[in-house]
Amino acid sequence: MKRRIHCGFVLVYSLVSYFYSCSAFYLPGLAPVSFCAKDKGGEDCQTVIQLFVNRLDSVESVLPYEYDMFDFCKDEIETRPSENLGQVLFGERIESSPYKVNFQEDVKCKSLCTKSYKKGSKEDATKLDFLKMGMQLNYQHHWIIDNMPVTWCYEVEDDQKYCNPGFPVGCLVNQDGKPKDACVINVRT
């Protein structure tokens, strides 16, 4: 009798182990995407890698800003991917970007848009002051490519590497000529 129970247990355990090992894994909200070169595109693979922008934040300020608050280049047709509950609760504000990235296509430098500001215009002065404030408070861009954050890595003291899940809005040099934050990275004295 004991032997029969033992054999039954081994059989059930073996079947459960077999089916468990055959199951695929699925992360809710993330489906695998295949990419291929422009000339080899089809229904089963994409040629364009979407780049999304997220809110900008700073360790020096408690106020995050949506990408549209700054006078950056904007996407012609703005779309927002569906966000999960955690992203909404944490204040994520993901939207499409004007940057177009094609799979396996090297692009060294390409103009995205041109902005011009008129001297004496209050509206333009307000836009520039807001951008300057973003640089002074070290606001960080947060980009997302293929559901992964873009990470900016740079060297710090003693040839150590530091990686940050965002990169600065810009580099600010004050009236005395002293650089701040992003301007001093990789500067050898």
- Dump pLDDT digits (tens) for 86-100: 777 777 888 889 988
Nearest to 68 by CA among 32, 35, 33, 95: 95
pLDDT, tens digit, for every residue of 139-163?
A: 999 999 988 889 988 887 788 888 8
Tokens of 40: 């080899």
Say if residue 98 is exposed, middle or buried (CB neighbours under 10 Å; 0-12, 13-18, 19+): middle
Predicted local distance difference test score (pLDDT) of residue 11: 56
Q: Where are the domains of the chain?
A: 38-105+115-150
Characterise 29 by phi-psi region: left (phi > 0), alpha (psi -120 to 50), beta (else): left
Predicted local distance difference test score (pLDDT) of residue 126: 95
What is the pLDDT averaged over residues 154-173?
A: 85
Share of the chain above pLDDT 90, in %: 24
Q: What SS3 state is found at 132?
A: helix
Identify the top-confidence range among 2-6, 37-41, 145-149. 145-149
How far apart are alpha carbons 126 and 17 in whole angstroms? 64
What is the pLDDT averaged over residues 59-72?
A: 90
**pLDDT band for position 28 (cuts 50, 70, 90):** low
Residue 79: pLDDT over 60: yes
Q: What is the C-alpha radius of gyration for the chain, rounded to an integer number of angstroms?
A: 25
What is the pLDDT averaged over residues 114-119?
A: 92
Predicted local distance difference test score (pLDDT) of residue 10: 57
Query: What residues contact residue 22 under an 8 Å CB cut-off, 6+ apart?
Result: none
Taking the CA atoms of 49, 102, 34 and 76 in sequence, report the sign of the dihedral they define.
positive
122-133 burial: b if 16+ Cβ within 10 Å, else e: eeeeeeeeebeb
How far apart are alpha carbons 163 and 161 in whole angstroms? 7
Query: Cα(first)–Cα(last) distance of the chain, in Å?
Result: 82
101 or 13, which is more confident: 101
- Is 143 within 8 Å of 132 (Cβ atoms)? no
Residue 187: pLDDT over 80: no
**pLDDT band for position 128 (cuts 50, 70, 90):** very high
Residue 115: pLDDT over 70: yes
Residue 1: pLDDT over 60: no
- Is 124 within 8 Å of 118 (Cβ atoms)? yes
